[in-house]
């Protein structure tokens, strides 16, 4: 069950810990394995490459419970295993999704994680509804996509980031000034001063520091949800008294699934979401890495083989 893909593009992000050799990919099919049955994909098709489609085993503890993104049996492209930095990659056909017209290969590559992880978290885990008021921490590589996903749902979203330029980009997307926490302003004070106390249904924490996790528990309404995606601090403190008395739901999310990716690509096609991605060339990798380290790359950078 193999597809070989040349002209592979991949995107990557600033990352602590072990290197990931390309977990966000997009490429064109050059060959389809003889065991592939019933697929509509053809040689020549441009496909987005989902890194963790799972093994699909009926006896798999994760795949049999609709948790393919945390399956340990299937191949994890670019996550501790061979990924999409290679000019050709062999993948399970279940991880290939046709890229719709109007979506660039760079966008399709970042759609596989930077958009898909946010989409899965907000739609499948947080089940954010149009009637909700949400509070979003972090407008970086994932958070800025999260903002567009929540706006597409139609929910109100209050945005918070320590970077002025990120807040300006949120304003350009149409977030009213009254829903933007000024850089450096305490979120807890902002919520009280702007009549939002008891009104934040869901906090979307795409940062995950001691400070954002602390603020989240204080600003969320009674009966509300804390959606945890960012993990900048590896350990945070749950206030048991706040959690129980406010009857909070702490919801963690990781990655996304192929069906999410199909929906995400349609949202990019209709421009409900426009991922922030710059394009570069593979041979420029060292220079791009340096620029990333110096904070000169916004969102994500997709490197092209050709
Ligand atoms: Zn599995």
**Is residue 7 included in any domain, yes or no?**
yes
Last residue of a domain, one of 252, 279, 296: 252
268 and 224 fall within a common domain: no
Q: Domain with 267 in it: what CATH number?
A: 3.90.180.10
C-beta separation of 136 from 112 below 8 A: no
Nearest to 11 by CA among 142, 151, 149: 142
| Distance (Å) from CA 87 to ligand 1 centroid | 27
Q: What is the mean pLDDT of each run of 10 residues along the chain (306 residues)?
A: 48 44 91 92 96 94 94 89 86 94 96 96 98 97 96 98 95 97 97 98 98 98 98 96 98 96 98 92 87 80 84
165 and 210 fall within a common domain: yes
| Distance (Å) from CA 163 to ligand 1 centroid | 39
* Helix (H) / strand (E) containing 24: strand 24-28
| Distance (Å) from CA 68 to ligand 1 centroid | 6
The full length of the chain comes to 306
96 and 76 fall within a common domain: yes
**Is residue 62 included in any domain, yes or no?**
yes
| Distance (Å) from CA 10 to ligand 1 centroid | 24
180 and 294 fall within a common domain: no
Instruction: Identify the residue whose tokens are 């995606």.
Output: 229
Q: How many domains does the chain have?
A: 2
Containing structural domain, residue 161:
127-252
219 and 168 fall within a common domain: yes
| Distance (Å) from CA 75 to ligand 1 centroid | 9
137 and 173 fall within a common domain: yes
| Distance (Å) from CA 52 to ligand 1 centroid | 10
Last residue of a domain, one of 252, 269, 288: 252
Q: DSSP string spanning 227-287?
A: EE---SSS-----HHHHHHTT-EEEE-----HHHHHHHHHHHHTTS----EEEEEGGGHHH
207 and 264 fall within a common domain: no
278 and 245 fall within a common domain: no
> Which alpha helices (DSSP H) does the chain contain, by range?
105-110, 116-119, 143-153, 164-173, 187-193, 210-219, 240-245, 258-269, 285-293
**Is residue 159 included in any domain, yes or no?**
yes
261 and 240 fall within a common domain: no
* Helix (H) / strand (E) containing 47: strand 46-49
Give the tens place of pLDDT for each residue, 32-71.
999 998 899 999 999 999 999 999 999 999 999 999 999 9
For position 9, what pLDDT does the model report?
Answer: 52
For helices 143-153 and 164-173, what crossing angle results, to 10°? 20
21 and 57 fall within a common domain: yes
| Distance (Å) from CA 8 to ligand 1 centroid | 25
Q: Domain with 235 in it: what CATH number?
A: 3.40.50.720
| Distance (Å) from CA 56 to ligand 1 centroid | 5
**Is residue 121 included in any domain, yes or no?**
no
| Distance (Å) from CA 59 to ligand 1 centroid | 8
| Distance (Å) from CA 74 to ligand 1 centroid | 6
For position 13, what pLDDT does the model report?
Answer: 43
| Distance (Å) from CA 58 to ligand 1 centroid | 8
Q: Which two tokens stand for residue 283?
A: 């041979």
| Distance (Å) from CA 230 to ligand 1 centroid | 25
| Distance (Å) from CA 69 to ligand 1 centroid | 8
For position 305, what pLDDT does the model report?
Answer: 82
Residues 6+ apart with CB under 8 A from 180: 158, 159, 167, 170, 171
**Is residue 119 included in any domain, yes or no?**
no
């Amino acid at each position: 069950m193999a597809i070989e893909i040349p002209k592979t593009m991949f995107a990557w992000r600033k990352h602590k810990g072990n290197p990931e050799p390309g977990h966000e990919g997009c490429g064109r099919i050059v060959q389809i394995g003889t065991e592939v049955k019933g697929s509509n994909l053809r040689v020549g098709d441009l496909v987005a490459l989902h890194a963790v489609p799972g093994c699909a085993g009926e006896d798999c503890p994760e795949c049999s419970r609709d948790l393919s993104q945390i399956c340990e049996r299937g191949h994890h492209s670019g996550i501790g295993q061979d990924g999409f930095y290679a000019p050709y990659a062999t993948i399970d056909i279940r991880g290939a999704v046709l890229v719709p017209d109007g979506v660039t290969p760079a966008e399709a590559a970042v759609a596989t994680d930077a958009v898909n992880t946010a989409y899965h978290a907000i739609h499948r885990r947080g089940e954010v509804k149009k009637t909700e008021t949400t509070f979003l921490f972090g407008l970086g590589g994932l958070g800025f996509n999260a903002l567009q996903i929540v706006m597409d749902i139609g929910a109100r979203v209050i945005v918070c980031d320590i970077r002025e330029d990120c807040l300006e980009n949120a304003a350009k997307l149409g977030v009213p000034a009254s829903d933007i926490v000024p850089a450096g302003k305490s979120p807890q004070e902002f919520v009280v001063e702007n009549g939002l106390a008891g009104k934040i249904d869901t906090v979307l924490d795409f940062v995950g520091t001691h400070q954002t996790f602390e603020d989240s528990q204080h600003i969320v309404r009674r009966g509300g949800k804390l959606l945890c995606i960012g993990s900048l601090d590896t350990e945070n403190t749950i206030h048991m008294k706040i959690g129980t008395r406010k009857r909070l739901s702490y919801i963690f999310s990781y990655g996304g699934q192929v069906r999410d990716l199909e929906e995400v690509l349609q949202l990019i096609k209709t421009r409900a979401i426009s991922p922030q991605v710059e394009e570069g060339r593979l041979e420029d990798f060292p220079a791009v890495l340096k620029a990333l380290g110096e904070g000169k790359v916004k969102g994500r950078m997709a490197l092209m083989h050709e």
